[in-house]
Amino acid sequence: MARRKIGVIGGGFVGSTTAQRLAEKELGDVVLVDIVDGMPQGKALDLVQAGPVCGYDSVVEGANDYSSLEGAELVIITAGMPRKPGMDRSDLLRVNGEIQQKVVSGIMEFAPSAMLVIVSNPLDVMCYVAHQVSGLPKNKVVGMAGVLDTARYRAFLAMEVGCSVRDIQAMVLGGHGDSMIPLTSTASVSGIPVQQLISAERLEALVDRTRHGGAEIVNLLKTGSAYYAPSASAVAMAESILLDQKRIMPCCSLLEGQYGIEDTWVGVPVILGSDGVEKIIEVELSSAESEALQASAAAVHDGQTEVAQMINIT
């Protein structure tokens, strides 16, 4: 029986580390696509040569075009440009919107039934672009943001309590950025509400640190951004889909009335299985959390409208 094929678009740090994790978990054979001649081929060959040491048989192939994606069941899109000095939000929206448009069109030409996991930023708006361009059902397009933001939140909570990250249950909803909502009302440590273990002042500080978790790493690295946690988060989503694990994860999905939000891509808890986003789960939020989610969704919707006009998609 042939192994399933998984595509990864973008051979940078996030993309290549994603390809590595997919291969090591033996979720399928991997095609790493990037426009830079030789780069994805070289990284793919390096990953194949790591197989005998790490004990995996996954085949990793590098390519500069999308034809190698033919037959792929799932494609993870990491391609995009980071904001450069002098670029404002609209500039970034236009550049990455155009990149996303080209990438998704290329994927659909050779793998028209593949599910799409979006990692490119600005994440929520890029999910909108991918959905519009691909023409796929809404359940087959999903964004990776909440899983990453939740991982950061859980890590900070565990560091504060001094316990294993495995015992932290927490979730981050909303848009991927400063408007995200790390939930405090439902966060717990082995069922113990975090408010019983962490003061309100410290908890608010951890929420704020989570909101700026990506920027904190950028400021430390100075010449790049995070890739270990983002790649791990994307692969966790892919694993749940490919193995039909039906895990409940906070993912960017299209809301059509849930949480009182219409026609907007927002991070909410979903069940991820072989049919992609199989169910959106509505949890009871505090009034403050609900207001924050509405504000976050409004900002995303503005971005959707803006990019649609910029790159002429409807």
What positions carry a catalytic annotation? Answer: 176
Could you tell me how far CA 227 lies from the centroid of its own chain? 11
H/E run at residue 201 = helix 200-211
Backbone conformation region of residue 59, classed left if phi is above 0, alpha if psi is from -120 to 50, else beta:
beta
H/E run at residue 118 = strand 115-118
Residue type at 274 in one-letter notation:
S
Tell me the H-state helices in 87-227.
89-110, 123-134, 146-161, 200-211, 213-221
The tokens for 275 are 């049919």
Distances 308 to 132, 159, 173, 284, 294 between C-alpha atoms, Å: 9, 42, 24, 32, 21
Sign of CA dihedral 185, 190, 196, 202: negative
The answer to whether residues 210 and 180 touch, using CB atoms and an 8 Å cutoff, is: yes
The tokens for 105 are 């069109």
The answer to whether residues 235 and 25 touch, using CB atoms and an 8 Å cutoff, is: yes
Residue type at 80 in one-letter notation:
G
C-alpha span between 106 and 44 (Å, rounded): 20
The answer to whether residues 65 and 33 touch, using CB atoms and an 8 Å cutoff, is: yes
The answer to whether residues 93 and 306 touch, using CB atoms and an 8 Å cutoff, is: yes
